[in-house]
Amino acid sequence: MSEVNAHRKRDIFVEGAIAPSFISDSIAKHATRHDIGAHEIFLGQVRADMIGGRSVEAIEYTAYADMANEQMTAIREEAFARWPQMTCLHVHHSLGVIKAGELCFFVFASATHRQQAREAVAYVTDEVKKRLPIFGKEIFAEGGHVWKTNS
pLDDT tens per residue across span 4-25: 445 677 899 999 999 999 999 9
Query: What are the chain's domains?
Result: 13-147 (3.90.1170.40)
Q: How many Å apart are CA 46 and CA 38, to the nearest integer?
A: 27
Per-residue model confidence as pLDDT tens digits over 26-47: 999 998 888 899 999 999 999 9
Q: What is the pTM of this model?
A: 0.91
C-alpha separations of 75 from 7, 99, 132, 140 in Å = 10, 28, 10, 33
Cα 36 from Cα 25, distance rounded (Å)? 16
